[in-house]
Structure 1
Amino acid sequence: MPFTWRDLLDILLVAVLFYYLYRLIAGTRALNLVRGVVVYLLVWLASSLLGLSTLSWLLGNAATLGAFALIVVFQPELRGLLERLGRAQGPKAPSLVLEELLLGLARLAERRYGALLALERRTPLGEYAATGEVLDARLSARLLVTLFYPGTPLHDGGAILRGDRLFAAGCVFPLSEAQMGLGTRHRAALGLSEVSDALVIVVSEETGAIRLAEGGRLSPPLSLEALRERLKGVVHA
């Protein structure tokens, strides 16, 4: 049977589907689940092809029970996946998250609490979240001020904002080698922006100035209004 344009379209659509599914689960423990399921299916297929009837029967029956168990264990991840799918397809709501973020940054700048906050975009930041503490908490101005209060265990590291959640804190970001004269926080902001598409906000503990790193470049100090304009469409509820 000849290869037609419908076959090509079919392959492309399946590839796009798997790509977006990977994007949704990347950086979460659901990714490890998918890897485990793939290995399980490969072993099951191999046992069937080799005629290992007992092993094939055991794996086949365990798959039914395992599917129900996985739904129960990974209920939070499945719910989050469906919520993100719904957000992607529906209109964006007015950003209460952005206002909470700006309020928190204003308080940090006023009190000159040094802060480092990465806004995850297309590039997953799971490997950097793994260097700190996973919080997966609702973002609020009070939470930001508490996290970066001098003397708290997590204040020296970076935080990661994923969607409308403060995903992790106390994280280690790569340091940029391009501008050695900058402080550690600013070099970390630049470093992460060099290896990902994240927007990285840094608050200076010396001056209280708020700057934004993107694509390996560091902005001049920004007012809250200027920062709001830069973050519109990136931070949304």
Structure 2
Amino acid sequence: MPFTWRDLLDILLVAVLFYSLGRLMAGTRALNLVRGVLVYLGVWFLASLLGLSTLSWLLGNAATLGAFALIVVFQPELRGLLERLGRAQGPRAPSLALEELLLGLSRLSERRYGALIALERRTPLGEYAATGEVLEARLSARLLETLFYPGTPLHDGGAILRGDRVFAAGCIFPLSEARLGLGTRHRAALGLSEVSDALVLVVSEETGAIRLAEGGRLSPPLALEALRERLKEVIRA
């Protein structure tokens, strides 16, 4: 059968589909899930190809149970993926009230108020916002100072910024298993960055140092100018 333009269109559409799914899953646990599934399918295919009937039978039966287990375990990621698909026509990166955020961080650092602030990107953080108080308030330096003032009800949790608004505060973020001498606030910043593509800012209450967690990595203490440049890159992305 001759190769037609419909075949070419079919291949291109499938390539675009897989590329788009890869972009949506980037920075989430779902990407590691896909890699694991591909390895599993590869072993299953080789077992069938080589005539390893017992191994092939075990892998085939395990796949059925595994599919249900993965749906349960990765339910938050699957829900987030569907939410992001629904928001795919929106702006790729929200506009941040950058100077207000930097001014707030500067004041928090000077006063050594511990702070934990997540900048939502493509991965929805609604499930973490639900653990705190939804505010939907305009982002300002004074609001950040108030939220993280020691002794206030919300100061121990994290704040989530969605665009130029403080979406929620007093939120609980997942703790990273990597301790490395880190306190709870820094482990929470690192933990959220491991399961999402959020940028997570953390201010140390001991030293006032500002650090950035991104992609499962925690930066050294950052000067405000270096932080400004990184945030500008995110806004332009």
Query: Same-fold call, TM > 0.5?
Result: yes
Q: How has the CA–CA distance of structure 1 residues 126 and 229 changed in structure 2, closer, same or farther, with 3 Å as cutoff?
A: same
Q: 4+ runs of 1 displaced by more than 2 Å? A: 2-12, 233-236
Q: Deviations over 1:26-67 (max 9, x none)?
A: xxxxxxxxxxxxxxxxxxxxxxxxxxxxxxxxxxxxxxxxxx
| Pairs within 5 Å for 1:171-210 | 171-210=171-210
Q: What's the secondary structure of 2:200's corresponding residue?
A: strand
2:133 match: 133
Give the letter for the 2:198 counterpart: A
Q: How has the CA–CA distance of structure 1 residues 11 and 180 changed in structure 2, closer, same or farther, with 3 Å as cutoff?
A: same
TM-score (norm: length of structure 1):
0.62
Find the aligned partners of 1:156 and 1:183 in 2 and give their Cα distance. Answer: 12
Find the aligned partners of 2:8 and 2:235 in 1 and give their Cα distance. Answer: 38
Find the aligned partners of 2:102 and 2:155 in 1 and give their Cα distance. Answer: 18
Find the aligned partners of 2:233 and 2:136 in 1 and give their Cα distance. Answer: 21
% same residue = 77
1:147 match: 147
1:166 match: 166
Find the aligned partners of 1:186 and 1:222 in 2 and give their Cα distance. Answer: 14
Give the letter for the 1:201 counterpart: L
TM-superposed CA distance for 1:4, in Å, is 3.5
RMSD, aligned CA? 3.1
Where in structure 1 are there 5+ consecutive unaligned residues? 24-80
Is the counterpart of residue 218 in structure 1 residue 201 in structure 2?
Answer: no
Q: What's the secondary structure of 2:189's corresponding residue?
A: helix
Find the aligned partners of 1:178 and 1:153 in 2 and give their Cα distance. Answer: 28
Where in structure 2 are there 5+ consecutive unaligned residues? 26-86
Q: What's the secondary structure of 1:211's corresponding residue?
A: strand
Give the letter for the 1:229 counterpart: E
Q: What's the secondary structure of 2:97's corresponding residue?
A: helix
Q: Deviations over 1:136-175 (max 9, x none)?
A: 1110001000000011110000000111111110000000
